[in-house]
Structure 1
Amino acid sequence: MSAHNNYGPQLSELDVAYYLEKPTSKEKFDRAIDRVWSRIAGASAANSQARTRPLDLDDIVMVKLPGKINFHQVRLLEIELILVEDNVTKILITEGKIEVTYGIGDLELKLPASHFMRIHKGFIVPLDRIRSYTAKEGIKLRTSNYSAFVPVGRKYKDKLEAFIDNRERFRKS
């Protein structure tokens, strides 16, 4: 929302859902909110295929924090681990932990599968941070404040091992 009407071309490039000029009416505001909600529903239904390009590690995503209107910008490259502790989803980044309002399944859908993998019902790892893996102990992360082994669930084991095998074959060639 702005009192200036010269932002149209820039907003179009940013794929803005709706633009309001001040002063505005309640009807126009309600129409804008409805359009945003329908876009969110459409993006979820299309399973995030509405993106014009896949997210890259250098991209920044906004995550919702607990509270009324609290958001935090997270650069995907800074994510060390995503985990569930005490029924709360947390994103470990280089500066600490961020508690978010999303469930881990919702975050799994939002993150680029080319860079992140769910490896347990309560863990998502950035693929480039996997230092080592053993079936008995799990995953050891590289350059992370999380020093424990990350467990790998039976349901996710085959997918992880296929990724590691492909990565090793690529390194040897």
Structure 2
Amino acid sequence: MQTHEDINCIIIEDESPAASVLQMHIARFPFLKLLGTFSSCTKALPVLNSEKIDLVFLDINLPGVPGIQFASIIKTTTGIIFTTAYSEYAVQGFELNAVDYLLKPISFERFSKAINRYLTLYQHNSFVLPTIDKVDARPFVFVKCDRKMVKIFLDDILYLEAQRNCLLIYTENEVYRSYQAISEMEEKLPDTLFIRVHRSFIIALDKVKAYNNSYVVIQDKQIPIGRMYSDVINSTLKANVK
């Protein structure tokens, strides 16, 4: 249920890493309520028709119906912030009265300016933006756990383990349970810091204490190395483990 402090928004983005960045940025704004992330305009249409959507983050290059074409059928009371990797579409975006046009990769500072522009154009004058200079310098991800987005610092992560229908994220102090696929999480994590060693495990390279051809050791946990990963793992660990 929407309160006076909610601005309902959705993401229409077919690239998982780009969608994850938008989700992380949105999670920093208490008044932005994300009602869904969709990989195509067709999939987003039922929500746009059934819910009061105030703001859409719309990729221009989408499978099926392009974002530029889809924007023309979105209600004028709904703000549109275009996202794309191609700057040549900017003029078309603004011709459609878009709130803003964000070029990937989207920084938090640039995202914040777009939200401020939306608040001004749509006369939401009571909202306070997060202070950019207070953003923590440590890299992190937001992960959906127990119906909320949880901030997890990358340097706290030891390893991740897929178990049946859930994903366990082991950190220095606790274990987080999420219901996203391990492959989806793999896309969010920088490959300079993390590596997939098994179909069920991703490890933090700097947390490895020892290894052989069959497993790696993190704290007291022996994590198996899958056969299809062994060659890449061995060469990577030789280069990274001191």
TM-score (norm 2): 0.47
AA of the residue aligned to 1:161: N
Instruction: State the Cα deviation string for residues 51-83 of structure 1 (Å, max 9, x = none).
Output: 358xxx92121101133xx11110011101100
Select 1:140's aligned residue among 189, 212, 217: 217
Structure 2 runs not aligned, ≥5 long: 7-23, 32-47, 63-84, 86-103, 108-136
Shift of 1:119: 0.4
Match of 1:112 among 167, 186, 190: 190
- For 1:15 and 1:106, locate their aligned partners in 2 and report how far apart those are by CA, in whole Å: 18
1:128 counterpart residue number? 206
SS in 2 for 1:112: coil
Deviations 1:90-142 (A, max 9, x none): 10112211101211000001101110000000000001111111113x0011x
CA–CA distance in structure 2, aligned partners of residues 52 and 155 of structure 1: 34
User: In the alignment, which residue of structure 2 is the partner of 1:51?
Assistant: 105
1:167 counterpart = 2:240: yes
Q: TM-score when scaled to structure 1?
A: 0.63
Percent identity, aligned pairs only?
Answer: 20
What's the RMSD between the two structures over aligned residues? Answer: 3.7
* C-alpha contact (below 8 Å) 2:160/2:167 kept by paired residues: yes
Q: Matches of 2:105 and 2:224 in 1, distance apart?
A: 32
Q: Which runs of 4+ in 1 moved over 4 A?
A: 26-29
| Cross-structure match for 1:93 | 171
Count of matched residue pairs: 135
Unaligned runs of 5+ in 1: 4-13, 21-25
* Structure 1 residue 31, shift from structure 2 partner: 5.0
In 1: Cα distance, 2:194 partner to 2:230 partner: 15
